[in-house]
Amino acid sequence: MPQPPAVNARNAGNASNATHASRPRHAPLLTVTADTLVAVDFGPRGRYRPPGPYRRLFARPGTLAFTLGNLVARLPMGMFSVSAVLMIAGSRGSYALAGAVTATGLAATAVVAPWTARLVDRYGQARVAVPATVFAALGSLALLLCVRHDAPDWTLFAAYAATATMPNTGGMSRARWAHLLKDDAESLHTANSFEQAADELCFMLGPVLAAFLCGTFFPEAGTLAGAVLLVTGVLVFAAQRSTEPPARGHTGGRRATSPVRAPGMPGLLAVCLAMGAVFGSTEVVTLAFADAEGHRTAAGAVLALQAAGSCAAGLWYGRLGLSGPAEHRYPWCIAAMTALLTLPLLAASLTGSLLALSVALLISGMATAPTMITNMALVQRRTPPGRLNEGMTLAVTALLGGIACGSAIGGWLVEHLSPAAGFGAPVTAAAVALLISLTARPTGRAV
């Protein structure tokens, strides 16, 4: 039989008192009325922490898989040149020959890489990158065999030039992020920051790994391991078809604007050329300074510190919620880089200490990643639709050309002046980059 409301309330109250007497310390407290039951929880609550920007980035389906494959494929980029120099110099006893061979490969890459990137944009990453990678790996193996079996010197040049078909794996990864995050500018900034930090990490670990393999096992071990890692990484990367941007295909009618002629691109490429001169001259001058101080074996670790500073700054930069156009931040980033590059010059000139130089390079490297992240973001924005790989590869090609020029200038200063005076070369190159960024402002709208 249904009970009156008062009886229901009394019974509920008794049940509430019994529950309250026996409940645990942090159990919910029940407040009862005749027709309403309300639960109030006075227990401790843990504060909710939203996932960080990098966790949100890799929570997207397929992103972690293609990133891991790309990192494996990108690591040999910092191994091949060091491995080739150690292998050729150790076998032929000539650093001049080794340098000439690697310079030939660099020049061939500057010519071939934009064409490879154009094919990637037109026919798709998996369709072009896999055969291009296999051909480049065969070139590395041919170089290994030529050195191993004392083939004529000209065969070394031909074999190393064949590696120029190696695709720009970092550019392809950035193109995937740009495709996946085209409507999320904040996440795209985080992705670009991660990619730049990954570049710094690979170029920091690559030479160390190459030197270890060549010195511990046999002179050809670095080249062989690099070829295996390159092919494996590209195969894993290309297998992730769900994140691959669509191929542009053949465009009918009016041809798309070349990235070189896009508004704002010439100035960006000129800055990349000057930035490459910063990197090339810094590397040569640092090696010469360490050698002059009797610490040749520590030179690699000193350069790794600069890359470590850039890597850490890149990851920190990706966590910032930046506002305003990247064009406004760009000159400030280059200005900070120019100012910090005076630290190695002062450390080498005033102290002559390799330890002081190491600290100065670590600090000066912290401005590299933010500058390159902003540069690549502007390259992405200014590149015409459907030609993103080509635009970013042109930027990398300009960097490589600048590295070659900076290496030559730094070597000349070291030989004719002193290693300490050679650190004026990266400061001058950074100042030139700043001047270009201030004067070559884009006149057209972003593509």
The closest alpha carbon to 343, from 332, 356, 355, belongs to 356
CB of 109 closer than 8 Å to CB of 397: yes
Cα gap 188→57, rounded to integer Å: 9
DSSP sequence for 236-285: HHHT-GGGPPPP--PPPSSPPPPGGGSTTHHHHHHHHHHHHHHHHHHHHH
Identity of residue 379 = V
Domain locations in the chain?
Answer: 5-40, 57-249, 259-447
The closest alpha carbon to 330, from 400, 271, 253, belongs to 271
Render each residue's pLDDT in the chain as its tens digit; 447 residues: 445 544 444 444 454 444 444 444 444 444 444 454 444 454 455 565 666 788 888 888 889 999 999 999 998 887 887 788 778 878 887 767 887 887 788 788 888 888 898 899 889 898 999 999 999 999 999 999 999 999 999 999 999 999 999 998 888 998 899 888 888 888 888 888 888 788 878 877 787 788 788 878 888 898 999 999 999 999 999 999 888 988 876 555 455 567 777 788 888 899 999 998 898 888 778 878 887 777 766 766 787 788 888 888 888 887 776 666 778 888 999 999 999 999 999 998 888 888 999 899 999 888 888 888 888 888 888 888 777 778 888 888 888 788 778 877 887 888 788 888 889 999 999 999 999 988 876 544 444
Structure tokens at 176: 């995937």
Cα gap 13→104, rounded to integer Å: 90
CATH code assigned to 259-447 = 1.20.1250.20
Do 259-447 and 57-249 have the same topology in CATH? yes
Own/partner pairs, 321-328, CB within 8 angstroms, 24+ separation? 321/186, 322/189, 326/374, 326/377, 326/378, 326/381, 327/378, 327/441, 327/442
* DSSP SS3 for 30: strand
CATH code assigned to 57-249 = 1.20.1250.20
The closest alpha carbon to 191, from 314, 309, 338, 292, belongs to 314
CB of 305 closer than 8 Å to CB of 362: yes
Backbone angles phi, psi at 53, to 5 degrees: -65, -35
Cα gap 334→344, rounded to integer Å: 16
Cα gap 441→425, rounded to integer Å: 25
